[in-house]
């Protein structure tokens, strides 16, 4: 069994070797890399170890010949190259489909390089004076709601629409969600065979998702960003820029909402409450159910995510990810029962999380949020 320190050493070695190869390629095209690369630090290595749908890819910061800041996505891994190409196709198609308006603004791609077995996408760095979470809650609500409505404007209602987007974005229906959650449930049982309470919790969630299959299917066919959280967006001149196009798909309209609201349960509960109330007040009862089902689905996913890290973790990181499994399991319990989440539970978790995080991860989180 590998441990977190072995995995961390392997990741650091990989990054060092890759940077030695990448620097001269970029230099030949007038780009230089910053000495400190925050997106390679902290728990980033563990994310790669768990993520099976994407390859090895480095997110780097640098400057062009004039000193202007840029972001570089670089990889020579086959799956990583496929992901970069997929993201470029998504960016192109989203502006071309005839059944959607302008959905997202995107940083300009300055150059796309294929050299020495590498694929490198150099993009403009979007400067922002204030991050999403630092803005007044009214502004956060307005920005996010506008983004959600823009996504909903892209609705694949006909066979022609679906044929246009299927190969690039993919399509998720109720069977997709059902089968994925069943996999989460099975993998959690395998990773944590003694966690009987968690097994019961996941079984209850599975039962509820099955009972509401019709409602889940009713709101599929919409464009949704499955990782719509603050570290994937930047805001400049009241314009929201999307940094990650690889997480766009056509599925349940509330899947992106669910990821966002579950995130805000921890980072801004007042905003989470505001969106739940908005859907309750302004949309049909079935849409509130669809949102709740998608939140349950995404909670099962994040519990599965951290459960799978435990075998490759040790020390403080093992304690931290075990705490994360318990915390998100508790949030799932509250969502299943409909009981409000006490702020004391969130505060206690944050305190324990911060006490267990490494200094590198704390620094990386500052850059993210």
What tens digit of pLDDT does each residue of 278-336 get? 999 999 999 999 999 999 999 999 999 999 989 888 899 899 999 999 999 999 999 99
Beta-bridge partners for 109: 123
Average pLDDT of the segment spanning 239-268: 94
- What the block records as the tokens of 145 is 């709601």
Place of tokens 């403080």: 316
pLDDT of 50 reads: 39
> Is the confidence at residue 48, as pLDDT, over 80?
no
How much is the mean pLDDT over the chain?
A: 89
pTM score, whole prediction: 0.89
Q: Which of 110, 104, 78 is nearest to 92 (CA)?
A: 104
* All domains in the chain, ordered by first residue: 4-364 (3.90.1200.10)
Average pLDDT of the segment spanning 182-199: 97
Q: What is the pLDDT of residues 200-210, one digit of tens each?
A: 999 999 999 99
> Is the confidence at residue 213, as pLDDT, over 60?
yes
Confidence category of residue 6, pLDDT binned at 50, 70, 90: low
Confidence category of residue 3, pLDDT binned at 50, 70, 90: very low
3-state secondary structure the chain: CCCHHHHHHHHHHHHHHHHHHHHHHHHHCCCEECCCCHHHCCCHHHHHHHCCCCCCCEEEEEECCCCCEEEEEEECCHHHHHHHHHHHHHHHHHCCCCCCCCCCECCCEEEEEEECCEEEEEEECCCCCCCHHHCCHHHHHHHHHHHHHHHHCCECCCHHHHHHHHHHHCECCHHHHHHHHHHHHHHHHHHCCCCHHHHHHHHHHHHHHHHCHHHHHHCCCEEEECCCCHHHEEEECCEEEECCCCCEEEECCCHHHHHHHHHHHHHCHHHHHHHHHHHHHHCCHHHHHHHHHHHHHHHHHHHHHHHHHHHHCCHHHHHHHHHHHHHHHHHHHHHHHCCCCCHHHHHHHHHHHHHHCCHHHHHHHHHHC
pLDDT of 196 reads: 97
Q: What are phi and psi of 72, to 5 degrees?
A: -120, 130
Average pLDDT of the segment spanning 247-260: 95
pLDDT of 244 reads: 87
Say if strands 222-225 and 69-75 run parallel, antiparallel, or are unpaired: unpaired
pLDDT of 1 reads: 40
Average pLDDT of the segment spanning 256-280: 97
Q: Which of 369, 356, 358 is nearest to 324 (CA)?
A: 356
Q: What is the pLDDT of residues 123-145, one digit of tens each?
A: 999 999 889 999 999 999 999 99
The burial of 347, by beta-carbon neighbours within 10 Å (0-12 exposed, 13-18 middle, 19 or more buried), is given as exposed
- What value, to the nearest 5°, has the Cα angle with vertex 303 and ends 297 and 307? 145
Compute the residue count for the chain.
369
Q: At what angle do helices 285-309 and 315-337 cross, to 10 degrees?
A: 160
Q: What are phi and psi of 122, to 5 degrees?
A: -105, 120
Residue 276: CB atoms within 10 Å:
16
Confidence category of residue 106, pLDDT binned at 50, 70, 90: confident
Cα separation, 285 vs 237, in Å, equals 36
Q: List b or e across 159-189, with b for residues whose CB sees 16 or more CB atoms inside 10 angstroms.
A: eebeebbeebbeebebebbbeebeebbeebb
Of 79-83, 117-121, 135-139, the least confident: 79-83
Confidence category of residue 46, pLDDT binned at 50, 70, 90: low
Find out whether 336 and 208 touch, Cβ atoms under 8 Å. yes
Average pLDDT of the segment spanning 21-42: 92
- What the block records as the tokens of 8 is 């961390």
Q: What are phi and psi of 101, to 5 degrees?
A: -85, -160
Beta-bridge partners for 114: 119
């Amino acid at each position: 069994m590998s441990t977190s320190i072995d995995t961390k050493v392997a990741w650091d070695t990989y990054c060092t070797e890759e940077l030695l190869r990448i620097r001269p390629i970029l230099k030949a095209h007038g780009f230089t890399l910053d000495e400190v690369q925050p997106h390679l630090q902290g728990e980033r290595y563990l994310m790669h170890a768990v993520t099976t749908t994407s390859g090895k890819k480095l997110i780097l910061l640098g400057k062009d010949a004039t000193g202007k800041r840029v972001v570089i996505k670089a990889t020579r891994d086959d799956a990583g190259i496929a992901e970069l190409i997929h993201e470029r196709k998504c960016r192109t198609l989203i502006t071309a489909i005839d059944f959607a308006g302008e959905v997202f603004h995107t940083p300009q791609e300055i150059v796309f390089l294929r050299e020495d077995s590498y694929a490198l996408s150099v993009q403009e760095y979007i400067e922002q004076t204030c991050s999403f979470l630092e803005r007044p809650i009214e502004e956060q609500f307005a920005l996010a709601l506008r983004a959600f409505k823009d996504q909903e404007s892209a609705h694949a209602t006909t066979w022609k629409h679906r044929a246009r987007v299927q190969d690039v974005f993919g399509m998720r229906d109720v069977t997709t969600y059902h089968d994925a959650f069943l996999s989460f449930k099975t993998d959690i049982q395998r990773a944590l065979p003694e966690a009987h309470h968690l097994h019961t919790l996941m079984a209850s969630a599975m039962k509820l998702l099955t009972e509401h299959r019709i409602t889940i299917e009713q709101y599929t066919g919409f464009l949704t960003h499955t990782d719509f959280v603050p570290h994937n967006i930047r805001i400049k001149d009241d314009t929201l820029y999307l940094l990650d196009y690889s997480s766009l798909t056509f599925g349940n309209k509330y899947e992106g909402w669910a990821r966002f609201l579950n995130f805000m349960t921890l980072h801004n509960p007042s905003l989470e409450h505001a969106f739940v109330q908005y859907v309750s007040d302004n949309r049909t009862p079935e849409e509130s159910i669809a949102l709740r089902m998608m939140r349950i689905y995404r909670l099962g996913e994040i519990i599965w995510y951290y459960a799978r890290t435990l075998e490759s973790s040790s020390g403080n990181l093992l304690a931290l990810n075990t705490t994360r499994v318990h915390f998100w399991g508790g949030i799932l319990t509250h969502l299943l029962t409909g009981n409000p989440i006490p702020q004391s539970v969130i505060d206690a978790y944050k305190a324990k999380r911060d006490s267990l995080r490494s200094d590198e991860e704390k620094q990386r989180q500052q850059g993210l949020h």
